[in-house]
Structure 1
């Protein structure tokens, strides 16, 4: 069992969902991003998803895309993501990384896996890498005790759901709507059905993302999912108030929501 397995065993025994908080490394600068991941961990996030800023973020909406751009302009380099990961672990949450695959290829697949594991990381989410083409990464992840985490979406057929879930470890990332990330007025109507369909093919925890921004929405998703992923709302809170006060307040609201 790695840290994700232990976490979801605990949250299930407590009868609640986990809060998965996304923040980009290096935004608005490296020092503040380290403080930010510590803040969300201490405010109740169970998992902190550390994003790797990238120049061509296909899945990310305007809030995260802008944050990534600022981080890169401030001088972010991939090797710094491991410092942020280590800070999450030290603050008591489980760190995973979310990255497009090209930076990992450039860094070296096995080297990235080794450094992520050494920093205390538990897994990697790869939004643009499908399981069919991920054997090299999956082998490196297995060798270093990391969880490869892939995405399912409303467009995924039943066989695709099964194949993707079988390739995952730790949890399955359930993208509740088609499109890019970003806060939404309501949770995607297809989310409960997609979770139900995915549960039919796996016993892994299912974490739902894309759109959650309030405690009430977190509570709604927590009623049918094992984890609630929040990204854009937290990034916006960090950008609006770099004292971290608003980021902490929102995380506490979301954490209370998943624990209802």
Structure 2
């Protein structure tokens, strides 16, 4: 992300838009590499905002329609997919989605996807177009006064707290439909102002799904029987009752060697035989 922002500040995004262009059978390899690089750079929100401000969303749609119309034998499917990847990266921000809708992008991708349905090899284009349209389609309010079902089924256990309990405790006249469509009518820019250094924040994020408590990762195993039931085996398992930390099992001072009286005398090898 930091490299993408740095390249964007030095005008690489504008340079790549000069390389890509309408349909041409020349330098198709260069076109493919330029589109892949541009799609990676546009994943940065700063570069995506810069592309939207310069009107490059309309340029991408125009290029895609031109390649779609001329590539009748579908030899340049990867180039067409590269253009869609650039559009997909731009529409990750709210300004990009708004520019996509204003440029009639929904109708363009819908019509081009309909033309690709008959060819199985063009399924990647249809899938990418569907993802872009689903992401940019305006969120509409549910045509319901409440999210509660007309059929009531009493739960066997209603939790004391949580979203289910809040739903059951709401008065009957309260509007409980979750409405996120208000954001689509705003003509203002994104609510939070992102600086150029915000793109590398994902490198320092905290994953809440990772458990850091060692006691939870390695729970203490409980005995299958109580201590009273295991006392009959105390002589076989002294570790259950005795505290070995209090015992001086290893002496810090070395003890002098005292020869045993039984060890005195000649050494007799049992396997040796006298002649």
TM-score calculated relative to the size of structure 1: 0.28
- What's the TM-score, normalizing by structure 2? 0.27
Compare relative contact order (CA 8 Å, sep 6+) and give the higher one, 1 or 2.
1
- Of the two, which has the highest radius of gyration? 2
Larger strand proportion of the pair: 1
